[in-house]
Amino acid sequence: MDSEAASIRDEANELLKAQVHVWNHMLSFINSMSLKCAVELGIPDAIQRHGKPMSLAELETAICINGEKAQSLGQLMRALTQSGFFEKKIVIKSDDKEEGYVLTKAGQFLVRENPLAVTPFMLTVLDQDAQKPWHCLSNWFHNEDRSALQTAHGKTLWELVNNMPKFKDYFKEATANDNRLVATYLFDNSEEGNLGKALFEGLNSLVDVGGGTGAMTEAIANACPWLNCICFDLPHVVVDLQGSKNLTFIGGNMFEAVPQGDAILLKSILHDWNDEKCVKILKQCKEAIMKSDKGGKVIIIDIIICNQAEDHKLLETQLFFDLQVMVLVKGKHRDEAEWHKLFLDAGFTQYKIISKLGVRSIIEIYP
């Protein structure tokens, strides 16, 4: 009887754990929306300006909330502290000790004046118009629309971005900030030997395909003054942009032709396209580098899905990005075997993965 009772208790405990798992997954949107609220209230900026641990009362005054909502502000801060964006420290005032909040490393990415801030990207992703496709996802699986975003808005992503100034501005700023972060990592002059300069050593020219307004290309041009850099994107993207001594902007279509260069850079480009389109882009890149007397290579900065990753949060974040591009453009993030097949289909013979950039990796591919 005791054994039977223990078995029943174990089964009940397993059911409760399963319920917690479902509830946690169901309510996980609260993490995102709480973070969005904190950014819109200016909480990270207020703590950054304060320059020392900031009490809840000081924070309440700084962000000018309704006094009756002080308790609710404490609840919000408690949740975001648990999530790792803020940390509590003791503040000593006269003879009293008081708890105050400081920013963690993750929290510093939420400060609007931080040139590496992720806030523009976050406010784009969590905007109610950007969230609408997720409410249409099950319908999309049954219809013939290209993407769930088209089911929701009747437009492609780029039509939506171009027609809605808030998205256009956020997208431009988010891309520029991310490019600065990647460039900081590549050219940080660390003891590892300055990865960026090693990546471009021995080259005379580089073409940044889909380089947008040139934040990444400019960073490379400044760090590698011997390198003639071209930022290549659609004509309307680059038409009014001014180059410099070793930076040029050229308009065109990557599916039709890519300017000649010793190396081609594809940062966060191929995940937007299906395999057939990716092969077409890669073939154009291969043709461009084959004209070079340096032998040429293509440098890809993108996600490699790590199916066996020990870091659960890293893998989960990669899978989130995979679903995000699926919803927006019916895109896809690939594991190493899928990348390898693309390279072979495009006529490349070898590749190497040389570094990880958080959830992304750097891949060099050769004809």
Do residues 298 and 351 make contact, with C-beta atoms less than 8 angstroms apart? no
- 256-287 in b/e form (b: 16+ CB < 10 A) is eebbbbbbbbbbbbbbbbeeeebbebbbbbbe
Residues 6+ apart with CB under 8 A from 194: 186, 187, 188
Give me the residue spans of the domains in the chain.
29-108, 187-366
pLDDT band at 173 (very low <50, low <70, confident <90, very high): confident
The whole-number pLDDT of residue 79 equals 96
Neighbours of 85 (CB within 10 A): 25
The whole-number pLDDT of residue 279 equals 97
- Write out pLDDT tens, residues 321-340: 999 999 999 999 999 999 99
Do residues 349 and 297 make contact, with C-beta atoms less than 8 angstroms apart? no
Distance CA 321, CA 122 (A): 13
> Mean pLDDT across the stretch 43-66?
94
> Which range has the worst mean pLDDT, 35-44, 70-79, 163-172, 249-258?
163-172
Q: Is the pLDDT of residue 298 over 60?
A: yes
Q: Is the pLDDT of residue 91 over 60?
A: yes
> Mean pLDDT across the stretch 108-132?
92
The whole-number pLDDT of residue 106 equals 96
Neighbours of 289 (CB within 10 A): 23
The β-bridge partners of 98 are 91
Distance CA 367, CA 358 (A): 27
Q: What is the CATH class of 187-366?
A: alpha beta
Q: Is the pLDDT of residue 242 over 90?
A: no
Beta strand pairing call for 205-209 and 297-305: unpaired
Residue in 101, 53, 97 with CA at minimum distance from that of residue 77:
101
CA distances 361 to 47, 191, 268, 319, 339, Å, are 33, 20, 10, 15, 12
Residue in 60, 82, 55 with CA at minimum distance from that of residue 71:
60
Q: Which of 63-67, 122-126, 277-281 has the highest mean pLDDT?
A: 277-281
User: Of the CATH numbers 1.10.10.10, 3.40.50.300, 1.10.600.10, 3.40.50.280, which one belongs to the domain with range 29-108?
Assistant: 1.10.10.10
Dig out the tokens for 5 from the structure.
Answer: 């009772």
> Mean pLDDT across the stretch 123-145?
94
Q: Is the pLDDT of residue 148 over 80?
A: yes
Dig out the tokens for 300 from the structure.
Answer: 């890809």
* 3 state SS for the chain: CHHHHHHHHHHHHHHHHHHHHHHHHHCCHHHHHHHHHHHHHCHHHHHHHHCCCECHHHHHHHCCCCHHHHHHHHHHHHHHHHCCCEEEEEEEECCEEEEEEEECHHHHCCCCCCCCCCHHHHHHHCCHHHHHHHHCHHHHCCCCCCCHHHHHHCCCHHHHHHHCHHHHHHHHHHHHHHHHHHHHHHCCCCCCCCHHHHHHCCCCEEEEECCCCCHHHHHHHHHCCCCEEEEEECHHHHCCCCCECCEEEEECCCCCCCCCCCEEEEECCHHHCCHHHHHHHHHHHHHHHHCCCCCCEEEEEEEEECCCCCCHHHHHHHHHHHHHHHHHHCCCCEEHHHHHHHHHHCCCCEEEEEEEECCEEEEEEEC
Instruction: For residue 271, indicate whether it is catalytic.
Output: yes
The whole-number pLDDT of residue 139 equals 96
> Mean pLDDT across the stretch 110-117?
92
- Write out pLDDT tens, residues 174-217: 888 898 889 888 887 655 547 888 889 889 999 999 998 898 99
Which one of the listed residues 153, 236, 271, 333 is annotated catalytic? 271
> Mean pLDDT across the stretch 274-286?
96
